[in-house]
Amino acid sequence: MMSTPLFALLLSVACSPPISPRLACPSCRQALQEKSYRRHLAFCAPDLLDPEGWAAGDCAVVQRHCSRLHRPGSAAARALELRFGFGGKPAVTSQQRLAAEMGWTNRRTRDTIAKFLHAIPPVSEPSDRLQVLYEDASMLVVNKPAGVGVTPEHRWRGGSVLNWVMWHLSRDAAPPQDGRGRGGGGGQRRRGRGGRGGRRTPAPAPEPRPCHRLDLNTSGALVFAKTPEAASALMSQFESRRVRKAYAALCTAPPGESLVEGEICRVDGVQHCERRVCGPGESGQAARTSLVVVADSAAGGEAGSAGAAGGECLLLARPEQGRTHQVRLHCAAAGSPILGDALYGGGEGRGPLQRHGLHALALTLVSPATGAPLEVVAPLADDMRRAALEAGLRMRSAGAGRA
């Protein structure tokens, strides 16, 4: 007969959750969970994470910032040159071997590399597509175009709204030709780490931080904080639901209800991001969204009545939370899937609208700089406006035009 302690041990093993697979970093050999593996390598061994991207341009970015941040010939510069193989030299990819060559501890080697890679800011990238809706000392709100990510797929490659905002803020911070500072910080300089012979480099402006997210193909109002303090204050407002949000949604049919309440669950076993309304007995994230019809093809209707007419319509959606895909999912749950939202029953885009017809129309929040309430409205995206006109949509008689 099995002893009680052994039986209890086997029972605890059988009932315990499965252990996440662990991977070893090929450079520092640290054991990592699969979900944190790529992020760790981005700040430890970017050359091993993406060899093609490294050869195509990432190496040049890292080498340039090594020259900017560290005095040539310094111990840190030499360690980085050995680790990443600048100048065509073979890279010392093993941090243990690098530590031995430098006469350092493994911890000092690891910390030197990670701190340096974290200090490299995202690239700043000019774009005539950046539309600033509001700006003060603490924040700015921009009108994000559809098809452009909030942040880049890689910090050093650009192609996102964050990179455009970096360029915008760097222009404001740079000293003009006559030497007078603009924006208060452009002329500050600091001494590098090289001691008395260290190079003097301009004090970098704090990296702007997006305070919320919009899907890749969602357009509209997007908030960036200029400082860590402003980011903390703004994100606190979003998390505590003190920010009022309004979305314009071009939908395939009017909703069957004006208020949708349904917890949101993840969809497991899919590569892409997908959500669903939780079934009976399931526990998910609480979510509540109000839906108001503001334009349709019926003449003389009153704004807000649900299901009054068939065909496409323009909704004003007000989510109380900010769950992933909340508006898209709740529109579909109300029988009013968003046009072009194939993931949630809205089919493919058509005519001028070749993406899902969702636009972050308005935000009401408090500016950390002024302490005053602020409402910012982003003009409806041109492709949604043209699609609404082609569909013959007309504004309803009352309350239709205000976000």
What is the rounded average pLDDT for all residues in the chain?
A: 85
Query: What is 187-240 written as a DSSP string?
Result: T-EEE-TTGGGPPEEEPPPPPPEESS---TT-EEEEEEESSHHHHHHHHHHHHT
CA dist 184 and 175 (Å) reads 9
Whole-model pTM: value is 0.78
- Domain 244-267+279-395: give its CATH code: 3.30.2350.10
178 vs 150 pLDDT, higher one: 150
194 vs 36 pLDDT, higher one: 36
Q: Is the pLDDT of residue 176 over 70?
A: no
120 vs 399 pLDDT, higher one: 120
Beta bridge partners of 375: 364
Select which of 58, 111, 136, 215 is catalytic. Answer: 215
CA dist 365 and 350 (Å) reads 35
Highest mean pLDDT among 4-13, 32-41, 94-103, 343-352: 94-103
Place of tokens 């490299």: 120
Q: Is the pLDDT of residue 247 over 90?
A: yes
Q: Where do the structural domains in the chain lie, given as residue ranges? A: 22-119, 244-267+279-395
- What average pLDDT does range 276-293 have in this prediction? 91
25 vs 174 pLDDT, higher one: 25
382 given a catalytic annotation? no
